[in-house]
């Protein structure tokens, strides 16, 4: 059933497209066919998982899979860390909520999923899946083989692995294709973090695993569209064929597990360090702001400032104005800090203080690597792979950050524009 809230989301969708068109390097060109193809792919993927008969079985399977991975990871964590990892407590517990330790309950998931992803890649299972999505993006959105494969890999492996997969073609990428690859990398998340996000949200969002998976997948077409609007491809350039035999290889299954684990350890350590530093910076910032007098009866904090700045964008995605400041704050946290902090804070909001629809829209809008910290990761990672184009990457990375952030917001708006009955709300 179509409601005013759905029309509100359509306004936000048009608003996001208008912002990107205003930033375009060639405003005389607008990719109408790509826009229609991108939105059609997004809607089709949503309907495929949530709308078709039997979709609930798939959703329950995804949720069960996440629960199974979390349980298996907990077993390994408890073996190493004992009661700190959730094992039998040697003392009387008076505050059960205090047993949750992020470092032991969430971060180990990154290690396990990273190793599992590498193993599935070595067994060609994940490779076949990414090739399937690559062909889908080629046929529906006219991407070249190298760009299509990089976009598909981004969905499951991450923004640094995707250029490795097409390393032999990096020097051949046009400016538009390079920009597209960076934007999609910032608009999606890696498989190693998807399960962690779903674990954080499962207590407050029904079908959290399905929403997180779909969010990362359908934000890729959104990133493609916004990247093409901002940096259009010149006629006759790009679109060359790429061999789908990847340069990302492992010598054996054990080699895949070992290297996947080490890659996951790097991600987990980076996440831990960033969380410590940025949470501390927020505390420092709030301490500085405390010297100012209260505004409208409340202390001035970074949370309140971000809420005011991003509340209109949250409203445009289809969120009720009463919840827009809180939603806007989470959008600001995702952009200025990390999506991990935003997801943790979203998961900490009690069920009665935020509607399921708002929480669902925010899950899609937050599910991407587009944050300030990722700018450094992008420049350093891609700069090593493409040293000759490092200055070019530096020149476009901030614009790519905005496009990646708006791509996830576009995905949130698109979900908000669809009837809530589709998602069982």
DSSP output for 45-80: HHHHHHTSTTHHHHHHHHHHHHHHHHHHHHHHHHHH
pLDDT of residue 402: 93
Strand partners, 295: 298
Q: How confident is the model at residue 28 (pLDDT cuts 50, 70, 90)?
A: confident
End-to-end CA distance of the chain: 12
pLDDT of residue 262: 86
pLDDT of residue 242: 47
Tens-digit pLDDT profile for residues 197-234: 888 888 888 888 888 888 888 898 899 999 999 998 87
pLDDT of residue 160: 67
CB 232 within 8 A of CB 29: yes
pLDDT of residue 95: 62
Q: Choose the weakest-confidence range: 21-25, 336-340, 364-368, 379-383.
A: 379-383
CB 226 within 8 A of CB 18: no
Residue 376 has pLDDT above 80, yes or no: no
Residue 396 has pLDDT above 80, yes or no: yes
Q: How confident is the model at residue 241 (pLDDT cuts 50, 70, 90)?
A: very low
pLDDT of residue 248: 66
Averaged confidence pLDDT in the chain:
82
Tens-digit pLDDT profile for residues 30-65: 888 888 888 888 888 888 888 777 767 777 787 788
pLDDT of residue 383: 76
Q: How confident is the model at residue 235 (pLDDT cuts 50, 70, 90)?
A: low
Matching residue, tokens 């952030």: 405
**Among residues 360, 414, 44, which one has the least CA distance to residue 208?**
360
Residue 294 has what DSSP assignment? P
**Among residues 57, 252, 275, which one has the least CA distance to residue 260?**
252
- Phi, psi of 298, deg, nearest 5: -130, 150
Tell me the CA distances in angstroms from 165 to 159, 228, 317, 385, one per residue in order.
Answer: 11, 22, 34, 11
Task: Provide mean pLDDT across the span 98-109.
Answer: 72
pTM over 0.85, yes/no: no
pLDDT of residue 312: 93
Q: Choose the weakest-confidence range: 131-140, 175-184, 308-317.
A: 131-140
What are the residue ranges spanned by the domains of the chain? 4-79+100-423
pLDDT of residue 97: 55
């Amino acid at each position: 059933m179509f409601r005013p809230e759905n029309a509100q989301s359509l306004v936000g969708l048009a608003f996001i497209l208008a912002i990107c068109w205003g930033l375009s390097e060639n405003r005389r060109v607008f990719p109408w066919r790509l826009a229609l193809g991108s939105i059609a792919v997004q809607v089709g993927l949503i309907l495929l998982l949530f709308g078709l008969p039997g979709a609930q079985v798939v959703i329950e399977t995804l949720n069960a899979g996440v629960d199974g991975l979390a349980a298996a990871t907990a077993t390994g964590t408890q073996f190493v860390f004992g009661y700190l990892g959730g094992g039998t407590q040697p003392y009387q517990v008076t505050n059960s909520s205090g047993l949750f330790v992020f470092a032991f309950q969430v971060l180990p998931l990154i290690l396990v999923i990273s190793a599992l992803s590498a193993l599935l890649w070595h067994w060609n299972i994940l490779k076949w899946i990414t090739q399937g999505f690559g062909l889908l993006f080629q046929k529906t959105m006219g991407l070249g083989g190298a760009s299509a494969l990089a976009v598909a890999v981004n969905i499951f492996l991450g923004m640094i692995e995707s250029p490795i997969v097409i390393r032999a073609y990096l020097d051949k990428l046009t400016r538009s294709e390079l920009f597209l690859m960076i934007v999609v990398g910032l608009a999606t998340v890696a498989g190693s973090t998807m399960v962690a996000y779903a674990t954080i949200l499962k207590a407050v969002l029904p079908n959290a695993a399905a929403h997180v998976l779909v969010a990362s997948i359908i934000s890729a077409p959104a990133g493609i569209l916004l990247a093409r609007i901002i940096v259009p491809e010149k006629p006759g350039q790009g679109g060359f064929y790429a061999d789908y035999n990847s340069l990302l290889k492992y010598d054996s299954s054990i080699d895949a597990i070992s290297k996947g684990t080490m890659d996951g350890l790097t991600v987990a350590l980076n996440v831990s360090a960033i969380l410590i530093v940025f949470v501390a910076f927020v505390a420092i910032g709030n301490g500085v702001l405390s010297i100012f007098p209260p505004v409208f009866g409340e202390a001035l904090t970074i949370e309140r400032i971000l809420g005011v700045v991003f509340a209109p964008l949250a409203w445009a995605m289809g969120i009720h104005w009463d919840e827009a400041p809180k939603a806007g704050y989470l959008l600001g946290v995702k952009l200025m800090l990390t999506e991990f902090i935003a997801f943790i804070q979203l998961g900490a909001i009690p069920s009665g203080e935020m509607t399921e629809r708002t929480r669902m829209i925010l899950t899609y809008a937050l599910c991407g690597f587009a944050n300030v910290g990722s700018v450094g990761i992008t420049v350093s990672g891609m700069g090593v792979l493409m040293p000759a184009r490092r200055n070019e990457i530096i020149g476009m990375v901030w614009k790519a950050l905005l496009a990646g952030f708006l791509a996830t917001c576009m995905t949130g708006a698109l979900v908000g524009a669809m009837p809530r009955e589709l998602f069982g709300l």
